[in-house]
């Protein structure tokens, strides 16, 4: 009997060590994948505040909560099962699908840039008159969740490409972990951003003079922060989208754009002295961004200038 108990405890210990090793593998793989998806995370964080900024302050956090739930649903109920099925049965499709998403990011980024430079606007904005606030809120939440689906698909695809050779359990664990952690990080940051001016107002009206100064600073900084986020979000879309397309083309056998990026990065790294590593990375990112901009402008031109085929009446 003692021998049986010892054997059982030994089996439990082996299982525990295997589980710990598996969790460690998941954690390490999630860290690698999360760093690769950082550009999309930046874009997601930068884009989302625009969906609630300018609405009733009392509605901001409830709307962010709805978008957060929608984002988790996108990642865990739609994209996670799809990613697992793709990795098991159609692994060759991951790169083309990733490139389609990258092309969409380039298109969105280019269209935003054109609009910022005074081009034609497409879609309703907060500058338009709102006839039905409840319907407008619903429309904006739906729009945010649709945008999140694209960005989440990019995050999950990037994550999947990093763990494609891992076991099924590890892939599932990494995708779920990255999906939840990134969602909490992104929308937690979004909540802090959109409520920053409200916190500043409360501090500015408080009794402590030092905190009143901090509050006024927060309120004054809010418009600047939103502009910076808008610029960063647009740049991140073009950078990430361009980088995905360049890498995908290399995977599919056409490595010329990737060689351009690498040649520019290496030249700067070798000739910039102590800052070579940082400046080399920056130049590589800039070349990817310019590639994404050119592709995005071409796609936006094609979408808005070429006539769409009309359905003929039967």
* Beta strand segments in 157-221, E: none
pLDDT digits (tens, 9 = 90+) for 259-310: 988 888 888 888 887 778 888 888 888 999 999 999 999 998 888 877 666 6
C-alpha to C-alpha distance for 140 and 149, rounded to whole angstroms: 14
Average pLDDT, the chain: 77
Nearest to 180 by CA among 157, 147, 158, 152: 152
Q: What is the DSSP letter of 76?
A: I
What local confidence, expressed as pLDDT, does residue 306 receive?
Answer: 73
Cα separation, 203 vs 223, in Å, equals: 18
pTM for the whole thing? 0.69
Domain layout of the chain by residue ranges: 2-222
Alpha carbon distances (Å) from 112 to 164, 219, 312: 33, 26, 33
- Report pLDDT digits (tens) over 111-158: 888 877 775 655 544 455 556 667 777 888 888 888 788 778 878 887
């Amino acid at each position: 009997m003692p021998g049986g108990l010892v054997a059982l405890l030994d089996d439990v210990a082996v299982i525990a060590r295997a589980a710990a090793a598996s969790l460690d593998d998941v954690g390490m793989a999630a860290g690698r994948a999360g760093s690769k998806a950082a550009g999309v995370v930046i874009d997601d964080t930068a884009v989302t505040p625009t969906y609630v900024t300018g609405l009733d302050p009392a509605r901001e956090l409830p709307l962010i909560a709805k978008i957060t739930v929608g984002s988790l649903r996108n990642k865990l109920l739609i994209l996670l099962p799809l990613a697992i099925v793709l990795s098991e049965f159609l692994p060759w499709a991951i790169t083309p699908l990733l490139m389609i998403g990258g092309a969409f990011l380039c298109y969105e980024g280019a269209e935003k840039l054109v609009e910022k430079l005074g081009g034609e606007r497409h879609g309703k904005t907060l500058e338009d008159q709102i006839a039905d606030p409840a319907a407008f809120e619903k429309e904006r939440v739906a729009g945010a969740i649709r945008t999140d689906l694209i960005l989440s698909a990019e995050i999950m695809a990037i994550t999947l490409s990093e763990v494609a050779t891992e076991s099924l359990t590890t892939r599932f664990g990494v995708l779920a972990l990255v999906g939840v952690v990134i969602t909490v990080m992104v929308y937690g940051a979004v909540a802090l951003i959109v409520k920053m001016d409200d916190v500043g107002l409360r501090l500015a009206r408080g009794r402590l003079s030092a905190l009143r100064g901090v509050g006024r600073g927060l309120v004054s900084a809010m418009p600047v922060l939103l502009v910076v986020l808008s610029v960063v979000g647009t740049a991140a879309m073009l950078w990430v989208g361009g980088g995905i397309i360049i890498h995908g083309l290399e995977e599919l056998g056409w490595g010329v754009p990737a060689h351009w990026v690498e040649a520019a990065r290496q030249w700067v790294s070798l000739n910039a002295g102590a800052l070579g590593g940082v400046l080399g990375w920056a130049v590589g990112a800039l070349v990817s961004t310019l590639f994404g901009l050119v592709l995005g402008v071409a796609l936006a031109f094609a979408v808005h200038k070429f006539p769409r085929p009309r359905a003929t009446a039967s």
